[in-house]
Amino acid sequence: MTTLSERILRAPAGEYVDRRVDRAYVHDGTGVLTLETLKALNSGEIAFPNRTYILFDHIIPANNSITAELQHELRDFACSGTLHFSDIGGGICHQLMSEGEALPGEIIVGADSHTCTLGAFGAFATGIGATDMAAIWASGSTWFRVPETIGIWLSGRLCGSSEAKDLALTYVSHLGMDGATYRALEFVGDGSTHLSMDSRLTLCNLAVETGAKTGMFYADSVTRRYLETFGQIITPQEPASSHYEQELGFELDDIVPVIAVPPRVDTVRPASDLCGIPLDQVFVGTCTNGRYEDLSRFASIVKGRKVKIRTIVAPASRMVLENAIRTGILSDIVNAGCTVIPPGCGPCLGAHMGVIGKGETCLSTSNRNFINRMGVGGEIYLSSVSTAAASSLAGEIALPGGDV
């Protein structure tokens, strides 16, 4: 009668435990603060470098000289030892960890709130602050309060133009932005078996937008086949009869394209209600929707046509970019008039390569639409890749599958 979180942390919900961390990672933003704190703790020594990752993704290439100087110091530190390091163009930290690094049953911490993405592999993955990360670098372990769990039961299959992002925004709207604070979301039911790893990563990615500690799937045959492509052989996790604090159910056949309207992720409306809203920019990418499956879906819609507004596409990693080149979908995207930027986060946090101006409106496949998130005074609508593709062709919010 244990949940997946309780199984991995080896204690019932509500208890505090000290546990060894299997993988710990930072990006170029949080890594600077972590390194500063580590030096104050113990002169910069990392206890377990083989479990430690520094992954540049947030502001790369550097957008000014100050950023460049900070990255230079962190880069020198990363290259001075045996820890894992990814520099410019490698990709978004969560995506890189999903490419054969994160494994079922592991305890994974990242100095970024969307570390919960990796719960898609049956791992307990959660975001922490830079100070806590420095302590983990120094000791290799940390403490957790074992979270209560909300069970999200899925049945049926996604159909038509609906995709995992629509389901993700739908469950966020049901729970609200604080409705799952310090809970784990456990995605279960027959419907979960029909979801690809890319879809599962999207669903777990938005768990933190409800206040949740993590989102999780049980590792199954889909997980096993995916990880085998990276040379990782795993044993699937058998779901147990669990006691959930709360349960929600979703029939996947009933999910429709939806959009989160600014400035809240949980204010969600059917995309059909918002058609015709003029757009200045469409952004496709991020740790939510920058994977190969996403780019392939986008390319299939815009192929042979031309976008009407500036459309920025960011592959989530170099591997995604290489696959897009190899299969030809990158050419379809570029020929449609889109701009492809290096793998990374830039526009999502309003850092560079896609910042919007005051009075501008962006439709984004990212995970947050807070005030000033992508630029001071701009407005952000959040959608699926299919909705973003249809809207880029129309120059306004448009329903996927319709004439544009």
Same domain, 213 and 268: no
The average pLDDT across 284-300 equals 98
Check if the beta carbon of residue 108 is closer than 8 Å to that of residue 70: no
Domain closes at, from 240, 256, 272: 256
Same domain, 248 and 365: no
| Position 1 pLDDT exceeds 70 | no
**What are 107's two structure tokens?**
């305890």
Same domain, 107 and 14: yes
Same domain, 233 and 265: no
Q: Is residue 268 part of a domain?
A: yes
Residue-level pLDDT at 401: 83
Same domain, 153 and 99: yes
Give the C-alpha separation, 113 to 211, whole Å: 10
Q: What pLDDT band is residue 402 in, cutting at 50, 70 and 90?
A: low
CATH label of the domain that carries residue 362:
3.30.499.10
Q: Which residues of 132-157 are buried (b: 16+ CB within 10 A; e: fewer)?
A: bbbbbbbbbebebebbbbbbbbbeee
**Count of structural domains within the chain:** 2
**What are 143's two structure tokens?**
């403490």
SS (H, E, C) the chain: CCCHHHHHHCCCCCCEEEEECCEEEEECCHHHHHHHHHHHHHCCCCCCHHHEEEECCCCCCCCCHHHHHHHHHHHHHHHCCCCEEECCCCECHHHHHHCCCCCCCCEEEECCHHHHHHHHHCCEEEECCHHHHHHHHHHCEEEEECCEEEEEEEECCCCCCCCHHHHHHHHHHHHCCCCCCCEEEEEECHHHHHCCHHHHHHHHHHHHHHCCCEEEECCCHHHHHHHHCCCCCCCCCCCCCCCCCEEEEEEHHHCCCEEECCCCCCCEEEHHHCCCCECCEEEECHHHHCCHHHHHHHHHHHCCCCCCCEEEECCCEHHHHHHHHHHCHHHHHHHCCCEECCCCCHHHHCCCCCCCCCCCEEEECCCCCCCCCCCCCCEEEECCHHHHHHHHHHCECCCCCCCC
| Position 43 pLDDT exceeds 80 | no
Residue-level pLDDT at 215: 98
Residue 181's contacts (CB-CB under 8 Å, 6 or more residues apart) are 210, 211, 212
The average pLDDT across 23-27 equals 98
Domain closes at, from 207, 233, 256: 256
The average pLDDT across 127-146 equals 96
Cβ count near 176 (within 10 Å): 16
The percent of residues in the chain predicted with pLDDT above 90, rounded, is 95
175-229 per-position pLDDT tens digit: 999 999 999 999 999 999 999 999 999 999 999 999 999 999 999 999 999 999 9
As a whole number, the mean pLDDT across the chain is 96
Domain closes at, from 211, 233, 256: 256
What is the edge-to-edge ordering of all strands in the sheet holding 107-110? 84-86, 52-55, 23-27, 107-110, 124-127
Q: Is residue 404 part of a domain?
A: no
Q: Is residue 401 part of a domain?
A: no
Same domain, 100 and 178: yes
Same domain, 286 and 166: no
Give the C-alpha separation, 273 to 114, whole Å: 29
Q: Is residue 136 part of a domain?
A: yes
| Position 172 pLDDT exceeds 60 | yes
Same domain, 184 and 321: no
Residue-level pLDDT at 242: 80
Residue-level pLDDT at 33: 96
The average pLDDT across 237-266 equals 95
Q: Is residue 176 part of a domain?
A: yes
Q: Is residue 234 part of a domain?
A: yes
Omega of the bond prior to 61 within 30 degrees of 0, cis? yes
Same domain, 270 and 161: no
The percent of residues in the chain predicted with pLDDT above 70, rounded, is 99
Q: Is residue 402 part of a domain?
A: no
Give the C-alpha separation, 396 to 31, whole Å: 38
Same domain, 169 and 282: no
Same domain, 203 and 328: no
The average pLDDT across 130-155 equals 97
| Position 8 pLDDT exceeds 70 | yes
Structural domain for 264, as ranges? 258-394
Q: Which residues of 328-362 are buried (b: 16+ CB within 10 A; e: fewer)?
A: ebbebbeebbbebbbbbbbbbbbbbbbbbeeebbb
The average pLDDT across 165-177 equals 98
Same domain, 106 and 38: yes
Cβ count near 190 (within 10 Å): 12
**What are 168's two structure tokens?**
């993700």
Q: Is residue 399 part of a domain?
A: no
Residue-level pLDDT at 41: 86
356-381 per-position pLDDT tens digit: 999 999 999 999 999 999 999 999 99
Give the C-alpha separation, 213 to 146, whole Å: 10
